[in-house]
Chain A
């Protein structure tokens, strides 16, 4: 990927640095999460933000990984069981859920894009015929008046159709 290549040096601008930290930290934790799920690894991460706040990620927990690392307890707590056990069950359920919701988001984004395309296509024909599709802010008094009448008229029509549909017993 790499939308832009950036030099591998400390970022000068503080706001930029902070933003980069936020994003990359999130990405790092995500990679760690995947590593845990895919390979059954145990991971511990500690990072300090530019503002000196500590962020940590741990699987099964930060504490257990640190304990193990500092030789306070050499054995992984899950080592005696088949790797994963209960933890795997819940994390894989969550992973599935996450995948689902992410793809839903992608769908919605695509839909939004499709509609934006359609709008752009229409925008070309704006000037004389579709002046009323422009933002309200761009209208003058006369246009506003016209628009208002049109909308009120439309409203009446739609409402009347609703009532009629109900009368005909077609409520849905």
Chain B
């Protein structure tokens, strides 16, 4: 069967329409036959073509009539529960597809954000041109990741509390404050909120006494730390050349007040596309990349 991109609209050419009709009718009957056999169910179909007044019927006139009569015997309410006409069917399909698309978009955005965060940690933050919106989202993502971190840490602490029992006072001291500090605090809504994170910071400081986990096979000194941001790189000096911020993207999918994503904006696509393409262009370079694209942050600019 050929796989060509078919535009679903009325075929104006008479002979093409007729031949398409015949082919598809055949395929359609095959499908309904398979459905009835595989699922062991009753079914019937009636097709009126524009070319004849007698309908094409499956499975046969007598069988089909039986199914129809049975159908008409049941109360209208039950008939209509799963009844759909052409328009309704199309609308339902559109809605479902739209939902899937939004889900996919959100997943993709999440992945892009995550990857962006990692790039920063690798010291490659210089490859990005970020808008404020990007930065906000990035912070939110970092925040989210930190929450997961805390959560997992709590799990570990609880576990080891069980293992070490009451004798480990360090572990003990940590359990309670952990519960207070983490539950209900959103650590980083704004720079001032850093202060609220302090109790948690003290908590972490306690862990200098914490016995390294038996599973810590890598050893503390051998680990490479994630390189933070790009403070090694001159890009943090803010010689922004306004010209280098192109009009390429505007941000993430807008969620309107009623929670509907505005799919017609190009923003959503361009947002990730830009990040992703930036990453893909640079992903193989280990060192500080020589930017081919001179539109990016220019360190040569005074």
Interface on A for B, CB 8 Å cutoff? 1, 6, 8-11, 17, 20-21, 24-25, 27-50, 53-62, 65-66, 68-70, 74, 76, 83-84, 87-88, 90-92, 94-99, 101-102, 104-105, 107-109, 111-112, 114-116, 118-119, 121-122, 128-133, 136-137, 139-148, 150-159, 161-166, 168, 170-172
User: When the two chains form their complex, are residues A44 and B45 in contact, meaning their CB atoms are under 8 A apart?
Assistant: yes
Q: How far is the CB of A30 from chain B (nearest CB, A)?
A: 7
A and B contact pairs by CB, cutoff 8 A, 28 listed: A10-B38, A21-B38, A27-B31, A29-B84, A31-B24, A41-B48, A45-B45, A47-B35, A47-B42, A47-B43, A49-B39, A60-B85, A66-B71, A69-B68, A84-B10, A94-B90, A98-B94, A101-B94, A108-B101, A122-B283, A131-B224, A142-B212, A142-B220, A147-B149, A157-B125, A161-B236, A166-B132, A170-B240
User: When the two chains form their complex, are residues A170 and B50 in contact, meaning their CB atoms are under 8 A apart?
Assistant: no
3 A-B pairs with least C-beta separation: A157-B229, A108-B104, A94-B90
Query: Among B108-116, B161-169, B177-185, which stretch is in contact with chain A?
Result: B108-116
Q: How far is the CB of A111 from chain B (nearest CB, A)?
A: 5
Q: How far is the CB of B209 from chain A (nearest CB, A)?
A: 12
User: When the two chains form their complex, are residues B100 and A41 in contact, meaning their CB atoms are under 8 A apart?
Assistant: no
User: When the two chains form their complex, are residues B145 and A108 in contact, meaning their CB atoms are under 8 A apart?
Assistant: no
User: When the two chains form their complex, are residues B132 and A162 in contact, meaning their CB atoms are under 8 A apart?
Assistant: yes
For the complex, what is the distance from the CA of A90 to the CA of B217, rounded to whole Å? 65
Indicate if B139 sits at the interface (CB-CB under 8 A): yes
Indicate if B256 sits at the interface (CB-CB under 8 A): no
A46's contact among B68, B138, B152, B236, by CB below 8 Å, is which? B68
**Per-residue contact bits, chain B 116-136, to A (CB 8 Å; 1 contact, 0 not):** 011011100100001110011
For the complex, what is the distance from the CA of A69 to the CA of B71, rounded to whole Å? 14
B86's contact among A8, A91, A152, A155, by CB below 8 Å, is which? A91
User: When the two chains form their complex, are residues B132 and A172 in contact, meaning their CB atoms are under 8 A apart?
Assistant: yes
**Per-residue contact bits, chain B 193-226, to A (CB 8 Å; 1 contact, 0 not):** 0100100000010010010110110101011111
For the complex, what is the distance from the CA of A104 to the CA of B170, rounded to whole Å? 54
If the complex has contacts A34-B8, A46-B67, A105-B104, are A155 and B238 also in contact, measured as CB distance less than 8 A? Answer: no
Q: Which chain B residues (65-96) contact chain A, with CB distance < 8 Å?
A: 65, 67-68, 71-72, 74, 78-79, 81-87, 89-91, 93-94
Given contacts A119-B111, A145-B207, 7 further A-B contacts (CB under 8 A): A10-B37, A44-B46, A56-B84, A112-B111, A118-B283, A158-B138, A158-B142
Indicate if B290 sits at the interface (CB-CB under 8 A): no
- Residues in B whose Cβ lies below 8 Å from that of A46: 43-45, 67-68, 71
- Residues in B whose Cβ lies below 8 Å from that of A6: 38
